């Protein structure tokens, strides 16, 4: 079962997301895709002129959405972990997985990007493969996906190249055409 994300981790991954946004801008300039980060609406509680709490107004879907040259939709979630040996399932919320599954069923490209900061490695995992990984973990009673499982190369799960710290997450897609 995927659990809700801790609020203490709210800003974790901001550098990674910023790098992805720069990659998206490069893809737009190359006329390969238009991909935008989805903003999260926040409810802010003030007391005596100070912010005492902030929380999302509603559940967000995924971090990034857009369209590829040729018309195919694209949606993905980006996550980062400091864990050395596995990726905690608690980093995802079930509605994010459901959204990506529905997106893929409609013909869109749906995946997750996972960055292991300790290894300076980013992996792209197509949503159907990611769901298999989650299912395997649940069957085995695991709360995380082992890095060794993520490292098993396939056309649905692979390490992506980074150039100047920018993840090149569409290169494999366009090289196959």
Going by C-alpha positions, the residue among 160, 137, 162, 163 that lies closest to residue 172 is: 160
**Which residues face 163 on adjacent strands?**
166
Residue 177 has, within 13 A of its CA and on its CB side, a CA count of 7
Task: Name the binding residues for Mg(2+).
Answer: 61, 63, 77, 96
Sheet holding 121-126, edge to edge: 33-37, 64-68, 73-81, 109-116, 121-126, 157-160
Structure tokens at 63: 């971090």
Q: Which residues are annotated as a binding site?
A: 61, 63, 77, 96
């Amino acid at each position: 079962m995927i659990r809700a994300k801790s609020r203490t981790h709210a800003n974790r991954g901001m550098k990674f997301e910023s790098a992805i946004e720069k990659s998206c801008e490069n893809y737009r300039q190359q006329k390969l895709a238009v991909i935008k980060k989805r903003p999260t609406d926040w409810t802010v509680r003030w007391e005596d002129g100070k912010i005492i709490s902030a929380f999302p107004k509603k559940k967000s879907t995924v971090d990034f959405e857009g369209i590829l040259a040729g018309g195919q939709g694209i949606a993905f979630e980006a996550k980062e972990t400091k864990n050395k040996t596995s990726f905690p399932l608690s980093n995802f919320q079930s509605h994010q997985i459901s959204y990506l599954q529905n997106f893929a069923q409609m013909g869109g490209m749906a995946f997750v990007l996972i960055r292991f900061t300790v290894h300076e490695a980013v992996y792209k995992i197509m949503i159907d493969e990611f769901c298999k990984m989650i299912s395997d973990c649940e069957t085995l009673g695991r709360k995380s996906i082992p890095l060794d499982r993520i490292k098993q190369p396939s056309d649905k799960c692979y390490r992506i190249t980074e150039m100047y710290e920018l993840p090149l997450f569409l290169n494999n897609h366009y090289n196959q055409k």
